Amino acid sequence: MERQRGKKKISDDQSTSKGNSIQIPFDLIYETFKRLPLKTLARFLCVSKEFAFITRYRDFMKLYLIKSSNRPQNLIFTFKGMCSAKHFFFSASHTQSRVGTHVRKRRGLAEELRILTLGNMGIIGETQKAKKKKIFDDLGTIGGNSYPVVPVDLIQEIFKGLPIKVLARFLCVSKECASIIRNRDFVKSYLMKSSNRPQSLIFTFEDKCSGKYFFFSLLQPQDRGEPSSSSVAVYHMKCHSRPYKTFVPSVHGLICYGPPSKLMVYNPCIRRSITLPKIDSLRIDMYHFLGYDPIDGVYKVLCMIEGNPIGGKFGLAQELRVLTLGKENSWRLVEDFPQHFLDSLDAPDICINGVSYYKVLLDTQGKNKAFMSFDVRSEKFDLIKRPELPERSFLPLKLTSYEGKLALLSSYSPDYRIELWVLEDAAKHEWSKKSYFLPTINGELRYGFYPFCVVDEGELVLAPLGVRTDPFYVLYYDPKKNCVRRVYIEGITELNENTYHSIISVFPGQVDNLMCL
């Protein structure tokens, strides 16, 4: 019901010169049709003669077949009834599990199950300019010089399945297309669909000489059964790191960075950014946290302004301000919040299911430590007590998400033990602990690798503290199978080979996002 209401709201927002239809150029229609599933293409047969012509055109069918053959193919099953002598055909997605010929009983009839073929593909690629031009020429004889008209409801369904780079091209087609793509409900639904796809890792490197941050994304390999694989990293941006550090590089596809005078939000998918309003304060010691509310589909930036130290080492938070992206032009002052400040300038933060978490100090001496939660939707703060952690650890605690809950990662010597603390009940301050010991790889222990995060499949991602030269790789540890796989990372060419680069953070969750379009 909620999806239908959002869909109706998007339709109501459109005001076109042709009622409930929008004109689309032929080249964009052609590029779009190649990416659509067969059932969606079938609906276009009844829209207009131009669309039926494209769909049934022999060259287009051939190109679609080539492109379809590169996708995961299906199994075709044939059932033969012994009494009725009829054949029944079914298709199923092809998986890695083995399928063989067997006999089973159904409603008292023995039916023989045969595998007919592995080649179930769309009947309708690699495009060729000559064939595409011929299609456009033939279309001109049918529709004249006017662009074909597409119903708005079909446009919405098509847009949801398109890559973000293709959607960006539609912004220049018409105001109606731009209105659909920038509609808040459509942005939210597109983000939800994108979150269900395989998500990327975001790496943040710090150049020790220049003091700059470098951001890369890496699509996680899906062949988890292989002991070794490789993936190519994508470079996004760089920025000055100090004294305004960013330790959560991506919150649902967006990166927030920069000094208070020019705080920016960057969308790596479309390589665009927006500048946030300047904070009206004379203080320069400011720290920001980006959060996302999945219910309302809005982003908020929380800014902490540090006060002067009084009788201690640390200055507690003097002011907290909030800005809602896309809705407000000025920062709002938070009236009520617990007394606290960041644990350190390197304190990590993370946003999980609409709640931002970060490490804090509760006194100016820095002895009383805890975690602070900030509900992005209600803008309420709550303190969470830390678990009883050992004193000595290789690295500061890493904040991550484990099964949708806040979790802490740490590693200890001398037995190279990894501990995962999971927040089971925030109100009762209850934590559970899991301990892991990394198995060997080819009989050797991987010293110098430390846990940074947990991905959706429950695997722990371990990386070295820094990188200087190739080859550079990370480790994925599966606690359920107690096995480790290695993933080599290629394409990190923007880093200076003669300079040591620290790995500041590794976070999962980079998704396609339409914000900033």
For residues 259-270, average pLDDT = 80
CATH number attached to the domain at 195-510:
2.120.10.80
pLDDT at 378 over 90: yes
Cβ contacts of 517 within 8 Å, gap of 6 or more: 167, 168, 171, 181, 182, 267, 270, 272
Cβ contacts of 501 within 8 Å, gap of 6 or more: 205, 206, 207, 208, 214, 466, 467, 468, 495
Of 49-63, 102-116, 327-341, 443-457, the least confident: 102-116
For residues 465-489, average pLDDT = 85
List, for residues 286-319, the tens digit of each pLDDT value.
788 899 998 888 899 998 887 766 656 666 777 8
Structure tokens at 262: 């020019």
The type of residue at 277 is P
List Cα–Cα distances, 74 to 88, 95, 103, 122, in angstroms.
16, 9, 21, 10
List, for residues 105-133, the tens digit of each pLDDT value.
333 333 333 333 333 434 333 344 555 55
pLDDT at 228 over 50: yes
Domain map (residue ranges) of the chain: 20-70+130-182, 195-510
List, for residues 358-372, the tens digit of each pLDDT value.
888 887 676 788 999
- Closest Cα to residue 365, out of 290, 324, 310? 310
- Closest Cα to residue 417, out of 443, 444, 390? 390
* pLDDT above 90 coverage of the chain, percent: 13
pLDDT at residue 433 in the model? 93
Name beta bridge partners: 330. Answer: none
The Cα 401–Cα 458 span in angstroms is 10
pLDDT at 481 over 70: yes
Helix, strand or coil for residue 168? helix
State whether the Cα torsion 231-236-240-244 is positive or negative. Answer: negative
State whether the Cα torsion 173-174-177-178 is positive or negative. Answer: positive
Residue 492 CA to its chain's centroid (Å): 20
pLDDT at residue 102 in the model? 36
For residues 3-18, average pLDDT = 46
On average, the pLDDT of the chain sits at: 75
The Cα 10–Cα 183 span in angstroms is 7
pLDDT at residue 124 in the model? 39
Name beta bridge partners: 93. Answer: 74
